[in-house]
Structure 1
Amino acid sequence: MSCIAIVGAGPGLGVAVARRFGREGFGVALVARDPGRLDALVGELGANGIRAQGFAADVRRPEELAGALERAVDELGTVEVLQYSPVPHRDFMRPVLETGPRDLVGPIEFSVYGAVAAVQQVLPGMRRLGRGTILFVNGGSAVVPHTERAGTSIAFAAESAYGHLLHERLAREGIHVAQLVIPGAITPGHARKDPDVLAELLWGMHRDRHGFRHFADDLDA
């Protein structure tokens, strides 16, 4: 039995992805900092017949994140799909000339150290399965740096490079690594950026396994 682990699970995209993969028979591990929010999401999904459990962890604490994913395997089975999609803090988005060395610690911990910790925790299980999918979800500054959002621009670029390296290295092992870039805000009712539309796109990326970088919308949207 296998599951999808959604790191950075929330009531928008996280729940939509949980519903989409849950309909395909996946157990769902929701990983986020707030245990109360996780309980509410698990309850919502359970009412819709989705087998889900919450695991509290802070992505800026690699050992804590790894421990949450280890517990997810114990409870739900091997992580076959990992989605890394925590929403950055607003204080990461400072103008470039106001961004000093210490201002980059948080964004790098959030987007790089956390991502690496999550991948290294689930990769052995994927290798044992002989298959797996790793999905990184980022904003538009992962592709076009923004002078007013220096922290996320720098950290997303590093996360993108890490993901691309994984894509090239793991393909030979049957493990697909891909990135979804979502320019602007996730918007309910939007033709391309509604959570359910994005969840369908992520399901297609897992199913079709073509290419590394995918775009939810035009970069200037």
Structure 2
Amino acid sequence: MTTIAVIGAGPGLGTAVARRFGREGHAVALIARDQARLDTLAADLAGDGVTARGFTADVRDPKALQTALDAAHATLGPIGILQYSPVPHRDFMRPVLETTPADLAGPVEFSVYGPVAAVQQVLPDMRALGRGTILFVNGGTAVVPHPDRAGTSIAFAAESAYARLLHDTVADEGIHVAQLIIPGAIVPGHHRKDPAVLAETLWGMHRDRQGFRHFADDLDS
């Protein structure tokens, strides 16, 4: 089995995805900024029989992100699955008329430079394997821009365009690229947006390899 790299790993969706894919035999590379937190998550997963390791990187630092993915490959083996799902900063969500060029730098680094750096780093592994999956997870503003969340609306749209271009370009190489839109918040206990339910959705997207954009729930929910 190959490794899944979860970028933006946390105690909610990231851990649920790690458990779901780990249950299928995949090793898990957990990537986020806080090593102590990652070590705690990895230890919890080990208790469930999942091989997981934490690697620190800020997604707004492409070199650090690529270094973390390189370390994950060296430690856990080839990365055959990539999930890009960090949670945006609150200061990315300013009203459109109050958003300056400087305010857009962070969202673009987060939602464009980060995923591009990550994809470029893992593509050689996937090409060598002859198969791979790249999963993008975004909020509803990726599809319906919100005037009070200009940064994420603009940056998610760019990320969506990049993901769609990848979907169309690398499919012939056996690499499946898909996007999951999660409108609103991830809600424990929700019948469609509980972390474990979302992890099952993402597993199905990886397994079935059908289509590009998927919705966790209705956009107006």
Q: Same fold (TM over 0.5)?
A: yes
Write the deviation string for residues 152-185 of structure 1: whole angstroms up to 9, x where unpaired.
0000000000000000000000000000000000
Partner of 1:135 in structure 2? 135
Match of 1:38 in 2: 38
**In structure 1, distance between residues paired with 2:86 and 2:26:** 21
- Cα distance in 2 for partners of 1:65, 1:170 equals 22
What amino acid is aligned across from residue 206 of structure 2 in structure 1?
A: H
Counterpart for residue 65 of structure 1: 65
Aligned counterparts of 1:86 and 1:110: Cα–Cα separation in 2: 8
Counterpart secondary structure, 2:177: strand
1:126 maps to amino acid: M
CA distance in 2, matches of 1:20, 1:147: 36
Q: Secondary structure at the match of 1:141?
A: helix
Deviation (angstroms), 1:100: 0.3
Instruction: Supply the AA of the counterpart residue of 2:209.
Output: R
Alignment-derived partner of residue 9 in structure 1:
9
Task: Give, in angstroms, the shift of residue 147 of structure 1.
Answer: 0.2
AA in 2 matched with 1:182: I
2:197 is matched with which residue?
197
Query: Displacement, 1:2?
Result: 1.4
**Equivalent pairs: percent with the same residue?**
74
Equivalent residue number for residue 160 of structure 1: 160
Q: How far off is 1:36 after superposition?
A: 1.1
Corresponding residue for residue 112 of structure 2: 112
Task: State the number of aligned residues.
Answer: 221
AA aligned to 1:24 is E
Moved over 3 A (4+): none
Q: Secondary structure at the match of 2:97?
A: helix
Quote how far apart the aligned CAs of 1:44 are.
0.6
Q: Distance in 2 between matches of 1:38 and 1:142?
A: 28
Residue 53 of structure 2 is aligned to residue 53 of structure 1: yes
CA distance in 1: counterparts of 2:49 and 2:24, whole angstroms: 12
Q: Distance in 2 between matches of 1:133 and 1:90?
A: 29
With the length of structure 2 as denominator, give the TM-score of the two structures: 0.99
> Which amino acid letter does the alignment assign opposite residue 213 of structure 1?
R
Q: Which amino acid aligns with 1:173?
A: E
What secondary structure sits across from 1:220 in the alignment? Answer: coil
Once the two structures are superposed, residues 30-51 of structure 1 have per-residue CA deviations (whole angstroms, 9 ceiling, x without a partner) of 0000111101101110111100
Q: Which amino acid is 2:16 matched to?
A: A
Structure 2 unaligned blocks of 5 or more: none
Instruction: Indicate the residue corresponding to 1:79 in structure 2.
Output: 79
Structure 2 residue 16 is the aligned partner of structure 1 residue 23:
no
Q: Quick one: distance in 2 between partners of 1:173 and 1:151?
A: 33
CA distance in 2, matches of 1:11, 1:105: 27
**What's the Cα RMSD here?**
0.4
Q: Secondary structure, in 3 states, of the residue corresponding to 2:55?
A: strand
Aligned to 1:169: 169
| Offset from partner CA, 1:115-139 (integer Å, 9 cap, x none) | 0000000001100000000000000
Query: Could you tell me how far apart the structure 1 residues matched to 2:9 and 2:155 are?
Result: 20
1:185: which partner in 2? 185
- Letter of the structure 2 residue corresponding to residue 207 of structure 1: R
TM-score, normalised to structure 1's length? 0.99
**Counterpart in 2 of 1:150?**
150
One-letter code of the match for 1:199? A
Letter in 1 for 2:31: V
